[in-house]
Chains A and B, each alone.
Chain A
Amino acid sequence: MYRYDEIDDTLVRERVEEFRGQVAARIKGDLTEDQFKPLRLMNGVYLQLHAYMLRVAIPYGVLSSDQLRMLAHVARTYDRGYGHFTTRQNIQYNWPRLVDIPEILDQLASVEMHAIQTSGNCIRNTTTDPFAGAAADEVSDPRPWCELIRQWSTLHPEFTYLPRKFKIAVTGAKADRAAIGVHDIGLRLVAGENGDIGFEVHAGGGQGRTPRVAVKLRDFVGQRDLLAYLTAILRVYNLAGRRDNMYKARIKILVESMGADAFTEAVEDEFARLKNGPLTIPVEEIERVAAHFLPPAADPRPVAKSADPAFLRWKAHNVKPHKVDGLRSVVVSLKPTGKTPGDASAGQMDALADLADRYGLSEIRVTKEQNLVLPHVAAADLADLHAVLAGLELATPNAGLASDIVSCPGLDYCNLANARSIPLAQAISKRLAETGLDEPAGELTIKISGCINACGHHHVANIGLLGVDKKGEEVYQLTVGGVADGQSAVGKILGPGFTADSAVEAVLTVVRVFTERRTGAETFIETLGRIGADPFKEAVYAD
């Protein structure tokens, strides 16, 4: 993985000192709350319902074991002993004190971590495939490009006060596991005509209250031109994006109002001026960054056959193919039955860091599904690893299944939320276990957002729940048919809303109808396409 050089290290430490000064200025009264707010947000500090919340960046979801131990230390020392992994591959702490935050950031800097631009109207953490550098279907490793984008976007002189937040996703594999269709910019690594690797560029996607699938701007941008092309897109957006209405300020609204063709033309015009200029990435820098992401060595050790049903079930769902012989990627589920999706205790984090050292080349990934991944594990070690994970309550065999529920923090923590999300996730998870529907349903996505900002990605769930406030009551809308990865699609509302309890049963009913009506190995989307929404609707609204 990437390691800081002196330049990176200095910048992050200077940033800590800058924020320390800003906190002092706020306390002294030199900064008003209105002035302080965007500054604290760009250092990951939110004011939530009960306390400040700190969101720490996990750049493109990649962690070393030492970094995970530091996250455990922060959870134990400054929070209530746990952290919450988010749908944007970051981690949040819900209970730190403002005065402690500069010190937390200082400690994070010691392991090459920061909270820079994890909030605010700026370019956020770039996200990617959690199996990057390991996936068997990878065209090219996206991580070097994520790191180059991270550096370019950090403290950008032009793009720190954008109309609204800005999210970039990169995928390097044939199967898109980064949901590039629902990001402000989505990049797909592709091979060009002469075999050179470059980028297919999409822009204008997003979730929130106006979900849109991105439009393709270009089939191919050369590697060295990437930053010039991104600058062109951001510049058009920064100048022309709406600032009068925060709900219409995302780039998706601009792309839609200008029209894809006019927007593309404006970007191309700007790019023509920037191309071959100072933003051209030197080949040496591409080589330098890429050298941090070399593939691991093959592991030729023989694999003993196991007959343990628990192990086999876990292996079937949580173990993924690897591009290197003798290696596998392991999904560590943070979705045990009835628990909060994405939460990990300090003890679990420490234990997993040790397991990563022992079995996984000291590397851990965070997924947008709020799980963790050990990307490089020897097939020969899987059984041993499984045994230890099971003892830590980290071996739930449900990666990609219905009970692998994604949920935002909701009204339990968030001051934007209209409704609770976590208790519904917990209840659905329990009911799936009780009814035994999890396994027969196969791969199926359920995602819950407590408000229209859609942090729980409900729009792109096969089955989505959205909490809304209806005259003081928490009401849930049920959507079906959303897809996050690959051919992104936005789910459609099935019918009238539900109370919390009936929403849980409605989700169960949809899963049950699917298991009854699917033929062969159909996915939920295929069955829905074949039979339409009516059979689901009739069953859900029957009583």
Chain B
Amino acid sequence: MPEDILMDIKRDYVLSRIRAGERIDGRNFDEFRKVEVKTGIIEKAEGSALVKLGNTQVVVGVKMQVGEPFPDTPNMGIIITNAELVPLASPTFEPGPPDENSIELARVVDRGIRESEAVDLEKLCIEEGEKVWIVFIDIHALDDDGNLMDASSIAAISALMNTTVPAERFGVGEDFKLPIRDFPISVTSLVVDDRILVDPCRDEMSVGKNLMTITSDEEGNVVAMQKSGSYLMAEEKFYELLDLSVAKAKEIRENVREQLKGGENGEDEES
């Protein structure tokens, strides 16, 4: 596979630059690529967001439906997260049922949102034990230039914040904004030799998918973690990652919050 040979060449290049204390795109080791967030891009969805993380692009759409609650949580709405790595987004993605990578992506994004209790699920109960809102979060990758994980989790929370519950359409009252009470942000890093590369791009991942994702909430608590990739991580490296990821999440959260605010103002001006 030509992709593999190219990757071998890139690997040597990436490694030599890292050993020289540099990243191939000139970023600092703890620097994210430029984050761009646009919400409300799909009118038919209850909420949506397009996130660009450098050249990586992801769309998340939120759709809602009325359904039955789970028996053990009769007064709570339901979140269902799904990810599709469509072949359009990368030469290595293939059509077909979700593979382990897309399942992992969806589950880690889901965990950040669920465990931070970002969506107030009790407010999504229509009739206890009978009817609740089901929130479908669908992650649609458009261009995988590395770190789909963080692009997807930023897109997911942004789309949720953009979501209006379509109560009128379902004949269960007036439409209302989806109640959001936290702002989880995931930070994924590549662990190479003794270095930590925050927000790795596709070419950097040619050295191996030695990834660690740490998601934290607004207060700086850790709400989800996932070591991903066949590698062994030194304990001290993990502690370093932990502090770094929580600090980075704060920075990204403020950046995204500003952009979301800007978007709303823009809409106001037009109307």
A binds B: no
